[in-house]
């Protein structure tokens, strides 16, 4: 029987631009089980990174604010606890790998110093023991000459090495849940494969849950157990990874999968989804994907569908009127 590690329910995150509020995350619902990798995918601007920052409560110095919902971590609502209690959880039980390590690492502090601080804070180690643990973590993520690298500054390392440092930092206090926001962005394919293999190995060794945020469907197929597809702040589809690729339900998901280049593809022109993600301050009425959807119907323009189970399967959901029509024809839903 699986145990839910994280439950996000009705999460709403708003941003203020000159007094105008926009929902970057609009009523998000998903969960992550222990030892499971959940993929969160979608185009740039759909709300993936804002979701991760909301979970970690890292919107304090931004125009964003969490306006509703709950984030239950082992039954505790992270949105309701005091900041001092969140500080004890963040970095220890709940850790994050940020999208760009060069901007996430402090450029004026040596690598060792940046690794040692959370170790001393969360594990209670002295400086010498923290340095030994930092070196051990760097070796664990495959960094050669770890004893020397702890004395380097971030700019002295390659992109792949900096990303490994970020993973070592996130894993150093043995978190129960790891949030990885585009962990392989801007890395060449060889280094990307190494980073993914490393994350998979560490996850399996520690029975750790993981939220993997990416726009790369190849990474999703390689790493994830289940997938949540986001569009314009909404979940539009949720499914086990194999079923999502074999039989996508939502038109947006179908468009994403069609747009992936294929090795034996003879057609020179790649498929693409026409149009662009709508402006959060000028969201279309009805279904948010309707202006770009090849299957758009009249009711799509006036009313937004709910997130409905596909063929009565609670593990598969799609936010599309076509799903509702299919359910009604099959007699599974009223």
Q: Are 204 and 172 in contact (CB under 8 A)?
A: no
Domain boundaries, the chain: 256-330
**pLDDT value at residue 82:** 95
With tokens 């034996």, the residue in question is 264
Has this prediction a pTM greater than 0.85?
yes
Q: Which residues of 280-292 are buried (b: 16+ CB within 10 A; e: fewer)?
A: beebbebbbbbeb
Q: Are 228 and 30 in contact (CB under 8 A)?
A: yes
Pairwise CA distance, residues 20 & 69, whole Å: 21
Pairwise CA distance, residues 38 & 210, whole Å: 6
**pLDDT value at residue 332:** 38
Greatest C-alpha distance within the chain: 68
Q: Which residues of 256-270 are buried (b: 16+ CB within 10 A; e: fewer)?
A: beeeeeeeeeeeeee
Q: Give the Cβ contact number of residue 303 at 10 Å.
A: 12
- The tokens describing 23, both together, are 């929902």
Q: Which residues of 209-232 are buried (b: 16+ CB within 10 A; e: fewer)?
A: bbbbbbbbbebbebbbebbbbbbb
Pairwise CA distance, residues 105 & 118, whole Å: 13
Mean pLDDT in order along the chain per 10 residues (334 residues): 85 88 92 95 90 94 91 95 94 89 86 95 94 94 92 92 90 92 80 84 89 91 95 95 94 91 67 86 91 93 91 86 64 35
Q: Are 82 and 72 in contact (CB under 8 A)?
A: no
**pLDDT value at residue 330:** 46
**pLDDT value at residue 89:** 94
**pLDDT value at residue 125:** 95
Q: Percent helix, strand and coil across the chain, each rounded to 5? A: 35, 25, 40
Q: Are 59 and 28 in contact (CB under 8 A)?
A: no
Q: Which of 74, 57, 37, 13 is nearest to 178 (CA)?
A: 37
């Amino acid at each position: 029987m699986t145990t839910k590690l994280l439950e996000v329910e009705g999460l709403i995150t708003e941003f203020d631009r000159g007094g105008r509020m926009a929902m970057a995350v609009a009523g998000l619902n998903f969960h992550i089980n222990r030892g499971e990798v959940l993929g969160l995918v979608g185009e740039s601007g759909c709300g993936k990174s804002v979701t991760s920052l909301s979970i970690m409560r890292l919107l304090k110095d931004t125009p964003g604010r969490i306006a509703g919902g709950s984030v239950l971590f082992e039954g505790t609502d992270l949105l309701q606890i005091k900041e001092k209690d969140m500080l004890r959880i963040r970095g220890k039980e709940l850790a994050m790998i940020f999208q760009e390590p060069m901007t996430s690492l402090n450029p004026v502090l040596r690598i060792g110093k940046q690794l040692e601080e959370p170790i001393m804070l969360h594990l209670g180690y002295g400086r010498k023991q923290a340095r030994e643990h930092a070196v051990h973590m760097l070796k664990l993520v495959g960094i050669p000459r770890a004893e020397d690298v702890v004395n380097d500054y971030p700019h002295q390392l390659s992109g792949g090495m900096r990303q490994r440092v970020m993973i070592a930092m996130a894993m150093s206090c043995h978190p129960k849940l790891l949030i990885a926001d585009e962990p392989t962005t801007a890395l060449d394919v060889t280094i990307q494969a190494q980073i993914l293999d490393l994350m998979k190995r560490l996850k399996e060794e520690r029975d750790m849950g993981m939220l993997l945020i990416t726009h790369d469907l190849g990474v999703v197929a390689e790493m994830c157990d289940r997938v949540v597809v986001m569009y314009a702040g909404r979940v539009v589809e949720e499914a086990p990874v194999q079923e999502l690729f074999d039989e996508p339900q939502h038109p947006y998901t179908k468009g994403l999968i069609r747009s992936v280049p294929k090795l034996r593809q003879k057609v020179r022109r790649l498929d693409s989804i026409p149009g662009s993600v709508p402006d959060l301050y000028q969201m279309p009425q009805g279904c948010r994907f309707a202006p770009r959807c090849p299957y758009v119907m009249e009711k799509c323009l006036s009313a937004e569908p709910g997130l409905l189970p596909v063929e009565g399967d609670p593990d598969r959901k799609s936010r599309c009127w076509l799903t509702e029509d299919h359910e009604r024809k099959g007699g599974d839903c009223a």
